[in-house]
Structure 1
Amino acid sequence: MGDLEYSILADFYEKIERTASRIEMTEYLVALFKETPIEIIDKVIYLTQGKLRPDYEGVELGVAEKLAMRALAQALGVSIKKVEETYKKSGDLGTAAQMLMQQRKPVSIVDFFGGAVEAKPLTVTRVYETLLKIAKASGPGAMDTKVSLLVSLLKDAKPKEARYILRAITGKLRLGIADMTILDALAIAFTGSKNARDVIERAYNMHPDLGHVAKVLATKGLEGVKGIRITVGIPILPMLAERLSDPREILSKLGGKCIIEYKYDGERVQAHKKEKQVYLFSRRLENITSHYPDVVEMIMNNIKAKEAIVEGEIVAVDPDTGEMLPFQELMHRRRKYGIEEAMEMYPASLYLFDVLYVDGRSLINEPLPIRKEYLKKILVPADRIQLAKSTIAETPEEIETFFEQAIADGCEGVMCKSLQADSIYQMGARGWLWIKFKRDYRYEMTDTVDLVVVGAFHGKGRRAGTYGALLMAAYSPEEDIFKTVCKVGSGFTDEDLQKLPEILKPYEISHKHPRVQSKMEADVWFVPAIVLEIIGAEITLSPLHTCGWGKIKENAGLAIRFPRFTGRYRDDKSPEQATTEKEIIEMYYSQRKVTAKA
């Protein structure tokens, strides 16, 4: 079986880590994939993503730093104190491991004269399989097993290899490579150009496991990739919506007529039913089945199909009044222990709005009205599982009226969706077939945005020793980059200020990330990873921020004035699911129109 020395992988990681160019990053990946034997291309992809399996399988790679330090000390024959001191100096456990290994002296006379038998080079397969064993170790003695396995790797590792093994095992690889960049590199490496990228991306949208898609591409070619189909139990990348604030514009975009649905303040879920098995996946493709046994039961009992994939919103309800509770209350359900107790305190309702697959038939290429008919046929409504409340609108007034009703009922706003013949389910895409119309932002910026932390500025005075402000960015899916839109320092509690450096530390890098576009120089830069909910007074033109640069006025971008953190950490969103540059531009135009009328 073909294999690859792990040192080659480490060399590529070092090059990728040092580059500030996305084009260079892609070129390095292409070279790596070409050098990788096809038998292990999936393992190389997973390791490069900083994971061992696709997200939906829930294989956690992370090992606590203290445990990793213990293994490093044991492997090198040094004290834990020595490891801790080196870690404190370097700020990164991987770098600390590399430094300690480079300082290591011969430990015996045989070693000194070069008589020791040289360890066999580490291979990708050995590293991957050992990390997988570490991730899966459980039960009594699991910690000792994890340490022992990690020690065995580190003893045979070269300094640079140890750097990336330690970063991988603690969940802090810090390469910041997006899935879309890997798709580009796969297309070039295995087909010679980016022309096949759409075919590969479509397969990935249906089966979001880059290791699997790469293996099929490497072994069966593009025809094999075209054969990838929807599989019940494997999540599909969710369709996303654009945002507008004028009902007239919404109707114009949607052909003069649309279906409007409540936009519930809950957790979006993709539910898969396969005979007597139910799987629940979040919008980030995490398997959240164990958190919602009540929702599992609803799907099992009220979806009358042997196999189905449906989408909806899980909403927490007040057990005393039956009223919908805000999203923050539902998050009490996201716990490992005390699930039954949480289910009693925060019972859930499920509001379904789409169906993607029923008994062997894929519906993603069917228009929305047909999908809605299928959903009605297979759903047996009950008190806690229903269709999302909806109506058909043909005038702006009808949208406004339904919107006000949704707000009164405790929703975030409404979703307006196309009923046209082309209203297919666009997997993983944000398009004009679905349009968000949310609370109040059509008058001023009282709607929130979800922005990505890309940098930070050191605090002064009371905030000395922590961050004084964070540099926040919106996402541009067309360019696959993050563009700055504000510097936020308000709204953080003392607890937030204390824990933010800990939360952000794993993503800290020494330079601006190649996928970040910023005119401002932050004191600290981060890999785009953490999403925060931000509110502001208004969106203004700015010579300092890059979001919307040159799209409204020459030599100006857009900035959020008086931004404030709402207290909501959007752990349910990946950075690529943050508010987009287009949405910020639309919000700017909509508020300007309202201001002009005023």
Structure 2
Amino acid sequence: MSQSDLPYSVLVEFYEKIESTSSRLAMTDYLVALFKKTPVEVLDKVVYLTQGQLRPDYEGVELGVAEKLTLRAISKATGVPLKTVEELYKKVGDPGLVAEQLLSRPKQATGLLGFIGQEGLKHELTISQVYSSLMKIALATGEGSQDTKVNTLAGLLSDAKPKEARYIVRTVTGRLRLGIADMTILDALAVAFTGSKAAREVVERAYTKRPDLGFIAKELASNGLEAIKAIKIEVGVPVLPMLAERLSDPAEILEKLGGQCLAEYKYDGERVQAHKKDERVWLFSRRLENITHHYPDVVNFVSMLKAEEAVVEGEIVAYNSDTGEMLPFQELMHRRRKYDVDKAMKEYPVRVYLFDIIYLDGQELIEKPLPERRKILESIVPAGSEDILLSKARLVDNAKDLLLFFEEAISEGCEGVMCKSVSGQSVYQMGARGWLWIKFKRDYRMEMTDTVDLVVVGAFHGRGKRAGTYGALLMAAYDPQSDTFKTVCKVGTGFTDEDLANLPKLLEPYRIPHRHPRVVSRIEADVWFVPAVVLEIIGAEITLSPLHTCALGKVEPESGLAIRFPRFTGRYRFDKKPEQATTEAELMEMYKSQRKTALQQ
């Protein structure tokens, strides 16, 4: 084996250690040791594999292999009849363990292993070999692609040791379940290649411009911290989007923003980061997924911008072509399909409302204040277009005008308004949630009339009619300060029969045997999950609870915040990452506002 490669067995050893701990500090230490041991030539591959992927999200290289194909590959590699493989899978529920167990048995005379002979004759798998095979599987398309996937995976498994097979199969099926967040990897990279966490801020800053952990890792290891500092925004590579806080009192919002703000319609659509370079256009979602395929009409709209190169942000909104009325988010989601895109485009036409610009013709604009960015954006939007427009906005300096503009936005079919700082420090904070942008949504001063987006972290087995599925889900809010998810309610109402039937399948890829290290809970769930799936929840009110950990001790000693009578709205927020869910701070503000109103009555 070349010195520029690493045995895959070494990676497996670290995976076992990481999988066995619920301590984030221990995870970080293991990653530091792994990165130091990895030759720089394959460091990016090790990082991608540890993330459970092959390339950054925005490149759209999907590795997921269907369950049936995986079992076929295991059968072919081991010589065990497919029926036997399927029966074992029904028992253990983990295709990775199936592969491990079958490869641990005495070798069969048939199948690929029959040609290998003794275990000792196998050559040692390397990171490069595993990665190359997985890429071949991921990129196989068209006629014969299923056979290519099965044969490639079977060949890889035939060379693998039992434990290696466990993690190879978990990787290809999207069930690696290590529970490692991007922020943990950034911590480990900073320690491994600079000696301490002191450089973490610099590394994270580069990551906000180039959200590609494999690239960041290799660049840092090869060329040092100065090379990381030199990373620039690149058209075609999405940056991490800026996020907002939330308040419900117009006067308080203005006070936070220095007495004046730019209030913009908060459209009920899909946030998009659009990149234009000459004749080419890329569209990225809030999660940094490449959604260009879904919106060929938006590609045409963006191509009309008066710029050679640009990175702009906006909201894609569906509308009624007969009345011009904006349609809700649920209608827009009909556009998220692989097939019949042209048909969907006609049935659900869209407009794009732009609200920010990040880059223009070779110049990064993130350090410029919002008023200046807005003027630049306005200068490149084609005049008179009905398809790509500036978001409706108004400069306000008093609570009455802000409330009137908010009510106007609601009456036009919007969710509310975004209130943005117009000070000299109103920069674009990539990947950050701060008080430069504040969401002002529907009035929740009398009761909880606004929805929240919470993350599924656990579940409880159903009984009676719900036997065989989940009776309730444990939901959590995100705390960016500690990078953890804190429980706020158990929700079991609002689900249709179809929802209940599909929940186990939807959540299975994220199921883990213990509480996730980033989940803070006083409640012991029957089943735990990696924080990944975001659901929209509504409730009667936000109340104090000693059972939940959201804002624990921050409002009242020994009590956290909980949602009373929570209900699933039917809206799956697949467009949001778990770190983009409602935060602990937002729930605290909602609770304080609710309590203030109650005291005034």
Q: What TM-score range do you get, normalising by the shorter chain?
A: over 0.9
Alignment of 1:295-444 (within 5 A): 295-301=298-304, 303-381=305-383, 382-444=385-447
Q: Which amino acid in structure 1 is aligned with residue 576 of structure 2?
A: K
Alignment of 1:94-493 (within 5 A): 94-105=96-107, 107=109, 118-301=121-304, 303-381=305-383, 382-493=385-496
C-alpha change, 1:335 and 1:445, in structure 2 (3 Å) is: same
**TM-aligned CA deviation for residue 443 of structure 1:** 2.8
Cross-structure match for 1:4: 6
2:592 counterpart of 1:589:
yes
Q: Distance in 1 between matches of 2:361 and 2:116?
A: 70
Q: Distance in 1 between matches of 2:237 and 2:83?
A: 45
Q: Distance in 2 between matches of 1:71 and 1:138?
A: 17
C-alpha change, 1:187 and 1:588, in structure 2 (3 Å) is: same
Structure 2 contact 78–108 (Cα < 8 Å) conserved? no
Deviations 1:546-595 (A, max 9, x none): 00000011111110000000000100011111111111111111111111
2:76 to 62, 74, 77: 74
Q: Distance in 2 between matches of 1:175 and 1:577?
A: 21
Structure 2 contact 79–114 (Cα < 8 Å) conserved? no
Cross-structure match for 2:546: 543
Q: Which amino acid in structure 2 is aligned with residue 187 of structure 1?
A: A
Q: Distance in 1 between matches of 2:454 and 2:12?
A: 32
**TM-aligned CA deviation for residue 117 of structure 1:** 5.5
C-alpha change, 1:102 and 1:359, in structure 2 (3 Å) is: same
Q: Secondary structure at the match of 2:80?
A: coil
Structure 2 contact 459–528 (Cα < 8 Å) conserved? yes
Cross-structure match for 1:63: 65
**TM-aligned CA deviation for residue 403 of structure 1:** 0.3
Q: Distance in 2 between matches of 1:177 and 1:436?
A: 30
**TM-aligned CA deviation for residue 442 of structure 1:** 3.0
Q: Distance in 1 between matches of 2:395 and 2:187?
A: 40
Structure 1 contact 106–112 (Cα < 8 Å) conserved? no
Q: Distance in 2 between matches of 1:565 and 1:124?
A: 43
Q: Which ranges of structure 1 fall in alignment gaps of 5 or more residues?
A: none
Cross-structure match for 1:572: 575
Q: Which amino acid in structure 1 is aligned with residue 387 of structure 2?
A: R
2:515 to 501, 512, 517: 512
Q: Which ranges of structure 2 fall in alignment gaps of 5 or more residues?
A: none
Q: Secondary structure at the match of 1:25?
A: helix
Q: Distance in 1 between matches of 2:34 and 2:120?
A: 30
Q: Distance in 2 between matches of 1:460 and 1:51?
A: 37
Cross-structure match for 2:42: 40
Q: Which amino acid in structure 1 is aligned with residue 425 of structure 2?
A: D
Structure 1 contact 235–270 (Cα < 8 Å) conserved? yes
**TM-aligned CA deviation for residue 490 of structure 1:** 0.5
Q: Distance in 2 between matches of 1:34 and 1:220?
A: 15
Q: Which amino acid in structure 2 is aligned with residue 515 of structure 1?
A: R
Cross-structure match for 1:30: 32
Q: Which amino acid in structure 2 is aligned with residue 209 of structure 1?
A: D
Q: Which amino acid in structure 2 is aligned with residue 570 of structure 1?
A: R
Q: Secondary structure at the match of 1:414?
A: strand
**TM-aligned CA deviation for residue 114 of structure 1:** 8.4
Structure 1 contact 258–394 (Cα < 8 Å) conserved? yes
**TM-aligned CA deviation for residue 451 of structure 1:** 0.5
**TM-aligned CA deviation for residue 104 of structure 1:** 3.2
Q: Distance in 2 between matches of 1:117 and 1:42?
A: 30
2:508 counterpart of 1:501:
no
C-alpha change, 1:309 and 1:111, in structure 2 (3 Å) is: closer
Q: Which amino acid in structure 2 is aligned with residue 579 of structure 1?
A: T
Q: Distance in 2 between matches of 1:489 and 1:147?
A: 39
**TM-aligned CA deviation for residue 198 of structure 1:** 0.6
Structure 1 contact 86–100 (Cα < 8 Å) conserved? no
Q: Distance in 2 between matches of 1:339 and 1:113?
A: 48
**TM-aligned CA deviation for residue 31 of structure 1:** 0.8
Structure 1 contact 76–101 (Cα < 8 Å) conserved? yes
The percentage of counterpart residues that share the same residue type is 67
Q: Distance in 1 between matches of 2:17 and 2:531?
A: 19
**TM-aligned CA deviation for residue 105 of structure 1:** 3.8
TM-score using structure 2 length: 0.98
> Aligned pair count?
596
Q: Secondary structure at the match of 1:566?
A: strand
C-alpha change, 1:70 and 1:377, in structure 2 (3 Å) is: same
**TM-aligned CA deviation for residue 218 of structure 1:** 0.5
Structure 2 contact 116–122 (Cα < 8 Å) conserved? no
Q: Distance in 1 between matches of 2:517 and 2:260?
A: 42
Q: Which amino acid in structure 2 is aligned with residue 582 of structure 1?
A: A
Structure 1 contact 453–531 (Cα < 8 Å) conserved? yes
Q: Secondary structure at the match of 1:502?
A: helix
Deviations 1:150-188 (A, max 9, x none): 111000101111011001101111112110110000001
**TM-aligned CA deviation for residue 113 of structure 1:** 14
Q: Secondary structure at the match of 2:460?
A: strand
C-alpha change, 1:418 and 1:130, in structure 2 (3 Å) is: same
Q: Distance in 2 between matches of 1:332 and 1:395?
A: 39
Q: Distance in 2 between matches of 1:94 and 1:439?
A: 47
**TM-aligned CA deviation for residue 103 of structure 1:** 2.3
Q: Distance in 1 between matches of 2:88 and 2:118?
A: 30
In angstroms, what is the RMSD of aligned CA positions?
1.5
C-alpha change, 1:241 and 1:112, in structure 2 (3 Å) is: closer
Structure 2 contact 79–108 (Cα < 8 Å) conserved? no
Q: Distance in 1 between matches of 2:106 and 2:53?
A: 30
Q: Which amino acid in structure 1 is aligned with residue 486 of structure 2?
A: K
